[in-house]
Structure 1
Amino acid sequence: MRLVIDCFKLVKGKGKSIGIYNLAQNLAQHLTETNRNGERCEEIIVLGNEYNRKDFDIPGIRFVQMKGNPLNKLTCLVWELFIVPFQARKYKADRILFPRGYRPLFYRGKDTVIIHDLIPFFYDKYFPSVLNRVENAYIMSRLKASMKHADRIITISEFSRREIDAMCPGSGKRVRVIYNGLNEVKCSRNKCALIPEEPYIYAAASGLPHKNAAGVLKTYDAYYHQTQHPARLIVVGILNTDGYEISSEAASHVTCYKYIERSEDMHSLLAGARVFLFLSLIEGFGFPPLEAMQLGVPVVCSDRTALAEVVGDAGLLTDPDNYAQSVKCLNRILTEEELRQQLIRKGYENVKRFGWDSRITAYWEELAR
């Protein structure tokens, strides 16, 4: 088998999801490591660009740097519609893998698309004014076409599988769930200047509505006013509390970081927290709670979409719209040491479900079909 992986449009730090880039990079790495001497695949070819060459041009891969600017929308449109089918024929692909979930409209060979989530449809229904409506409509149409015509579909949770089946009835036989693999996170708790001396809650959010920064701050406001000695809140993903519903008293105990450049610093800050709070409204998978568990931090997590199946009973699940329930979960972890230690142990066990060895075996099975 000659496998081609389409990575032309992937640029680290650009676009809406670093998760897709990281998955593609990890896949390339693990596929090559498990294909020694061409045991599984005659050749792995990555169609990339000048920006991602350093991550994908690795031993065991034939990296082809394609011409054109992957940050230019017209270039990407032409790439998707016309150039990819030509490149697949040029390199005699037995199968082509599309990590971003979009396949060419006119491709007739064997292909596998990875559909991570259907969040564009969520925005179209609940937050239609947030994203560029023309661009979002195009993305939805491309996803629908991929779901309808792809030879094989890989998705990353049972929740996403059900969403795909509802959107494209009859697709079930072509869909396989392969959970994302979890990499080991690195941190140094004693060297991070961002870590405060007092106990703190760590929350991950963003300015995008589905990440629910508003819910995080409303929950903290309720917690702050109900607690005699409240822990500080650190929120990563927003610049400040301006424009959110939170009292000035509670806001004075909140520290916000729009972005933490060094992942080691971010993980060190997470590792020092007493509890991790994640109240997202929709996720195709959900890495943040797993990273917290990996670092021994108890989790309070939204019970919506894929998060319940990823977190399981290793965290306290809560309705993200029920602030009183979320506050109760926070207080339980912060005051009940036995529960806290139990969740830490369960978290360590839970992350074992997402090792790369079983993931990559499942990928090879799919790609060889």
Structure 2
Amino acid sequence: MTTQKVYVNARFLTQKLTGVQRFAIEISIILHEMLGDAVIFLAPDETIEKANFPRTIPVLKIGRNKGHIWEQIDLPLYLRKQKKPLLINLCNAAPVLYANKLSTIHDIAFLKYPGTYSKSFLMLYRFMIPRIIASSEHTFTVSEFSKEEMMRYYAKELLGKDISVIYNAVDDEFKSVVDHDLQSTPYLVAVSSLNERKNLHAVLESFVNLGDEFNDTHLYIIGDLKSDSFKTLNFDRYKANPRIKFLGRVNDASLIRYYSNAKAFIYPSLYEGFGIPPLEAQKCGCPVIVSNVSSLPEVFQESALYCDPYSIASLKNAIEEILTNHDRRNILIEKGYKNVQRFSWPSSGEKVIEVLKKYL
């Protein structure tokens, strides 16, 4: 396509793997496949442990600092020595004082739900995000919903600039896997954190209020429930319930097993830029219950059972519906498989490259 070098801010390779980092990794893989040696990945001189980032992709370690200091000082200094090439940022952050860049902002949850973040996190993001958007040639985000939110809250910074939607997708490793041991106990599964907008309280409260006829059904909670970034929720009283299991973080192989053999996946989030976990569940043949707010209706259309995330009764009714109406459940499984096909990493990567071409 071009002999010009394109650089990728690969600081995400030193961070804990969440949906944001997974997006960055998958788009990076497509960029490398399609651009080859024309794309160069830059990272801090830290230990890089990402099992799902191919070792065949070279990563150039530069600078002396780490974290945000590396991103704001070392990275732009290095790029200026390379005659200010185009820099692609895929992970909610970018060097503010470097102009020749494309940046990705996944959502603005920190503005909509500030109470769920630490003061230091809020101060940093409130300072950085508008400046990143204003100083970028082009901004990516992950849904039409997030695009509209950003255009509303950052109209001044986006004036005269373009913003494109690049959807998330799900890895091919996510597929239905039968596990008879797991199937021996009917269960619901949820992926959550202590971030209040994930609405874990609603999941737990709706479950304990299910009718007596569902006493053989269990609830498995997957996710990191220890975080310095978010305010904690008091869920100790649920730990005493023998039908509720808090499994913590699990690897993808285990996650796939839990998705594949569950009666339903529950995701009553109050705010999502996209919502990857329900899409993963759908690819594993699990029907999903999601909230009817933010980006979720856009992403899941008619393939999910919707609930009002602010109503325990609404979520409880949705769970009971999916546990008792087998025809409805089977229809949701089939619609889920079709819905997942709307999203792919190659398609999203190609859209990034289409934009990239305009700035070379």
TM-score normalized with structure 1 length: 0.85
> What is the alpha-carbon distance in structure 1 between the residues aligned to residue 238 and residue 60 of structure 2?
54
Percent identity for Structure 1 against Structure 2: 26
> What is the alpha-carbon distance in structure 1 between the residues aligned to residue 117 and residue 239 of structure 2?
30
| 1:298 partner letter | P
- After TM superposition, give the deviation of residue 349 of structure 1 in Å: 0.3
> What is the alpha-carbon distance in structure 1 between the residues aligned to residue 274 and residue 342 of structure 2?
13
- After TM superposition, give the deviation of residue 117 of structure 1 in Å: 1.1
> What is the alpha-carbon distance in structure 2 between the residues aligned to residue 146 and residue 30 of structure 1?
24
Give the match for residue 24 of structure 2. Answer: 24
Is 1:332 equivalent to 2:328 in the alignment?
no
Q: Is the 8 A contact 2:141 2:164 kept in 1?
A: yes
Using a 3 Å threshold, how does the CA distance of structure 1 residues 54 and 248 change in structure 2: closer, same or farther?
closer
- After TM superposition, give the deviation of residue 338 of structure 1 in Å: 1.2
Using a 3 Å threshold, how does the CA distance of structure 1 residues 263 and 77 change in structure 2: closer, same or farther?
closer
5+ long unaligned stretches in structure 2: 227-232
| 2:170 partner letter | L
5+ long unaligned stretches in structure 1: 37-41, 71-75
For this pair of structures, how many residues does the alignment match?
345
Give the match for residue 214 of structure 1. Answer: 201
Of the candidates 310, 313, 338, which is equivalent to residue 349 of structure 1?
338
Give the match for residue 110 of structure 2. Answer: 120
Q: Flag the structure with more relative contact order, 1 or 2, with Cα contacts below 8 A and sequence separation at least 6.
A: 2
Q: Which moved more, 1:4-13 or 1:140-149?
A: 4-13
Of the candidates 355, 358, 365, which is equivalent to residue 347 of structure 2?
358
- After TM superposition, give the deviation of residue 161 of structure 1 in Å: 0.5
Using a 3 Å threshold, how does the CA distance of structure 1 residues 62 and 190 change in structure 2: closer, same or farther?
closer
Q: Is the 8 A contact 1:192 1:269 kept in 2?
A: no
SS of residue in 1 equivalent to 2:167 = coil
After TM superposition, the structure 1 = structure 2 runs for residues 208-287 of structure 1, keeping only pairs within 5 Å, are 208-223=195-210, 225=211, 227=213, 229-237=215-223, 243-244=234-235, 251-260=241-250, 262-287=251-276
> What is the alpha-carbon distance in structure 2 between the residues aligned to residue 265 and residue 101 of structure 1?
28
> What is the alpha-carbon distance in structure 2 between the residues aligned to residue 228 and residue 235 of structure 1?
18
> What is the alpha-carbon distance in structure 2 between the residues aligned to residue 33 and residue 340 of structure 1?
39
Segments ≥4 residues shifted beyond 6 Å: 245-249
- After TM superposition, give the deviation of residue 154 of structure 1 in Å: 0.4
| 2:30 partner letter | H
| 2:131 partner letter | A
Q: Is the 8 A contact 1:2 1:93 kept in 2?
A: no
Is 1:306 equivalent to 2:306 in the alignment?
no
TM-score normalized with structure 2 length: 0.87
> What is the alpha-carbon distance in structure 2 between the residues aligned to residue 203 and residue 82 of structure 1?
40
| 2:221 partner letter | V
> What is the alpha-carbon distance in structure 1 between the residues aligned to residue 84 and residue 58 of structure 2?
13
- After TM superposition, give the deviation of residue 186 of structure 1 in Å: 4.4
Q: Is the 8 A contact 1:155 1:175 kept in 2?
A: yes
After superposition, the CA RMSD in angstroms is 2.7
Give the match for residue 48 of structure 1. Answer: 43
Give the match for residue 3 of structure 1. Answer: 6
> Per-residue CA shift, 1:47-70, capped at 9, x if unaligned?
0144227666754x5521124353
Give the match for residue 169 of structure 2. Answer: 181
Give the match for residue 85 of structure 1. Answer: 76
- After TM superposition, give the deviation of residue 21 of structure 1 in Å: 2.1
